[in-house]
A and B are shown apart, each in its own frame.
Chain A
Amino acid sequence: MTQPAIEIRNLRVTFAGVVRAVDGVDLTLAPGEVVALIGESGSGKSVTLRSLMRLHPPRRSKVEGTMTVAGQDVLAMSQRALADYRGATVAMIFQEPLLALDPVYTVGEQIVEVIRRHEKASKAEARARALELFQKVRIPSPERRLDAYPHEMSGGMRQRAMIALALACRPKVLLADEPTTALDATVQIQILLLLRDLQRELGLSIIFVTHDLGAAVEVADRIAVMYAGRIVEEGTARDLIRGPRHPYTIGLLKSRAEGALAKGSRLDAIPGSPPDLAHLPPGCPFAPRCPLAIDPCRADRPPPIPVGPGHTARCIRTDVSPTLLSPASRSDAAPA
Chain B
Amino acid sequence: MSAALSPPEDRGGPAQPLLSVKGLLKHFPVKKGLLGGVSAKVRAVDGIDFEVLKGETLGVVGESGCGKSTTARLLLSLIDPTAGEIVFDGERVGSRALSLKAFRRQCQMVFQDSYSSLNPRLTIEASVAFAPQVHGLPRREAVARARDLLARVGLDPRRFAERYPHELSGGQRQRVNIARALALQPRLIILDEAVSALDKSIEAQVLNLLMDLKEEFGLTYIFISHDLNVVRFISDRVMVMYLGKVAEIGRSDDVFSRAQHPYTAALLSSMPSLDPDNRTEVAPLAGDPPNPIDPPPGCRFHTRCPLAEPVCSAKEPPLAVTDGSHRAACLAVQPGSGHSLAPPAAGSEMAA
Contact = CB atoms under 8 A, between A and B. Distances in A.
B274 A189 contact: no
B199 A182 contact: no
Contact of A182 (B64, B202, B285): B64
Given A184-B63, A193-B283, A335-B278, A268 B204 contact: yes
A252 B63 contact: no
A256 interface: yes
B119 interface: no
B284 A41 contact: no
A183 interface: yes
B101 interface: no
Contacts of B228: 185
B208 interface: yes
Contacts, number: 177
Contacts of B349: none
Nearest to A139: B288
A154 B155 contact: no
Interface stretch (A3-11, A108-116, A120-128, A211-219): A211-219
Interface in B168-227: 168-172, 193, 196-205, 207-208, 211, 226-227
A257 B207 contact: yes
Given A155-B64, A184-B64, A276-B159, A252 B271 contact: no
A335 to B, nearest CB: 4
B36 interface: no
B277 A178 contact: no
A41 B196 contact: no
B340 interface: no
A237 B266 CA distance: 26
A135 to B, nearest CB: 14
Contacts of A95: 170, 197
B156 interface: yes
Interface stretch (B77-85, B89-97, B132-140, B229-237): B229-237
Interface stretch (A259-267, A298-306, A322-330): A259-267
B170 A188 contact: no
Given A41-B198, A185-B271, A186-B285, A218 B159 contact: no
Nearest to B233: A257
Contacts of A1: none
B272 interface: yes
A241 B63 CA distance: 28
A79 interface: no
Most buried by A among B172, B236, B289: B289
Contacts of A40: 199, 201-202
Contacts of A150: none
A166 to B, nearest CB: 19
A41 B276 contact: no
A211 B198 contact: yes
A12 to B, nearest CB: 17
A255 interface: yes
B202 A217 contact: no
A87 interface: no
A140 B283 contact: no
A186 B274 contact: no
Most buried by B among A185, A237, A242, A333: A185
Interface of B: 61-65, 112-113, 154-156, 159, 167-172, 193, 196-205, 207-208, 211, 226-230, 232-234, 236, 252-253, 266-268, 270-289
Given A42-B172, A43-B199, A266-B208, 15 more contacts: A19-B167, A42-B171, A182-B226, A184-B64, A184-B226, A185-B226, A189-B283, A189-B284, A217-B273, A241-B276, A252-B199, A257-B207, A266-B211, A267-B204, A267-B233
8 contacts: A42-B168, A46-B170, A154-B288, A184-B62, A186-B270, A193-B280, A255-B200, A276-B159
